[in-house]
Amino acid sequence: MGVKEQRVIGVPRPPFPSPLSPLQADSLPGFPAAVGLTEEQKEFQKVAFDFAAREMAPHMAEWDEKEIFPVQTIRKAAQLGFGGIYVKPDVGGSGLTRLDTSIIFEALSTGCVSTTAYLSIHNMCAWMIDTFGNEEQRHKFCPSLCSMEKFASYCLTEPGSGSDAASLLTSAKKNGNVYVLNGSKAFISGGGDADLYVVMCRTSGPGPKGISCLVLEKGTPGLSFGKKEKKVGWNSQPTRAVVFEDCAVPEANRLGEEGQGFNIAMQGLNGGRINIASCSLGAAHASVLLAREHLNIRKQFGEPLATNQYLQFQLAQMATRLVAARLMVRNAARALQEQRKDAVALCSMAKLFATDECFAICNQALQMHGGYGYLKDYAVQQFVRDIRVHQILEGTNEIMKMIIARSLLQE
């Protein structure tokens, strides 16, 4: 006996995730994501929203369900300049600012958070090589990263060192003009599929000053990968452990000086935190729209839910929190661009605030969908699942509080 598709009067059955197409900066009247931006920024914001609506949103459910890493779509994004957004143009980058980058990631995330988040990590790696690499390294690695012919992974976390990243144990022992790398990394985004691994490893004594940064190429003997992790969200990108067994890495692949690796890793993460917060903004933006759509269509007690003042107030609060989070993120992006002294704390505040607030917004949007929000036919649940991890990675939100408190107490 076949299973009948049940249709309930007054319940939207959106062709997943239809309300997002085409989502634009001005999709929320009164809360335009383009406010205060230059004409140029508005243009590439529109390009990113269009790309999200056309190339990503129609597939995000399938990528999630089947755990597809959409390599071709990501390469298409790179054709728009999104593979090395804040990498310098002489090596193929777009040479845009941190604020520009945030605007792009926010817009792309409305189409698929998980895919955009991988793109953001790849961009962070490309920037690290562009910024801390010598001319030879920049010209060797950056062009193929910017075109996304090659994909990059950021390798800091280990099974025994997460929040306490400076205690990492992966060792790199100098032998002639190579480093012999041994150890393992946990939770590596893109792991197994990426071509370049930016690896933080220990070249001397304990603590942050004993850490260096090496670029390891896929195919290096001794490099292997764990199983693909099964995750709550972020399913359109693979996460694997990365294992090094006597991997010989040329000294020429070391970024910066010996002992500079932890600093390089942390500088990468300052931008990474803005990027991941921006991905949360996109999810929240989309979820507010989905909630609005649902409240307008769904009727209970003889009226559309949208007529209920409690729900109206909730929606108002969601939009307010989204706008506040966006201001925080853009403020931090400007501070980082200007290399201001308070940039590290502001990036941490933006990551803390935006990822917490945006998760709450998406979760509230799910609540407004009632039981339908819990069904995979409705996009809102995927936004909730995909951004939950933003409170955990690139430094947990508890670690963000530690950084902010440290900067306050140092003043």
Chain residues binding ligand FAD by CB under 6 A are 121, 153-157, 162-163, 187-189, 231, 234, 239, 389, 392-393, 395-396, 398-399
Distance (Å, whole) CA 326 – CA 278 = 8
Question: In the bound complex, what is the minimum distance in angstroms from residue 82's beta carbon to ligand FAD?
Answer: 18
SS3 342: coil
Whether the Cβ atoms of residue 189 and residue 118 lie closer than 8 Å to each other = yes
Question: In the bound complex, what is the minimum distance in angstroms from residue 234's beta carbon to ligand FAD?
Answer: 5
Between 155 and 255, whose beta carbon lies closer to ligand FAD?
155
**Buried b vs exposed e over 321-343: b needs ≥16 C-beta within 10 Å?**
bbbebbebbbebbbbbbeeeeeb
Between 323 and 392, whose beta carbon lies closer to ligand FAD?
392
Between 99 and 242, whose beta carbon lies closer to ligand FAD?
242
Q: What are phi and psi of 150, to 5 degrees?
A: -115, 145
Question: In the bound complex, what is the minimum distance in angstroms from residue 16's beta carbon to ligand FAD?
Answer: 23
Between 25 and 200, whose beta carbon lies closer to ligand FAD?
200
Nearest residue relative to ligand FAD (C-beta): 162
Instruction: Establish how many alpha carbons lie within 13 A of residue 59's alpha carbon, considering only the half-sphere containing its beta carbon.
Output: 19
Question: In the bound complex, what is the minimum distance in angstroms from residue 83's beta carbon to ligand FAD?
Answer: 17
Question: In the bound complex, what is the minimum distance in angstroms from residue 313's beta carbon to ligand FAD?
Answer: 31
Query: Which residues are designated catalytic?
Result: 394
Between 8 and 409, whose beta carbon lies closer to ligand FAD?
409
Tokens of 87: 């990498």
Distance (Å, whole) CA 317 – CA 200 = 41
Tokens of 10: 């007054």
Whether the Cβ atoms of residue 55 and residue 63 lie closer than 8 Å to each other = no
Q: Is 219 left (phi over 0), alpha (psi -120 to 50) or beta?
A: left
C-alpha separations of 361 from 266, 287, 357, 408 in Å = 29, 7, 6, 28
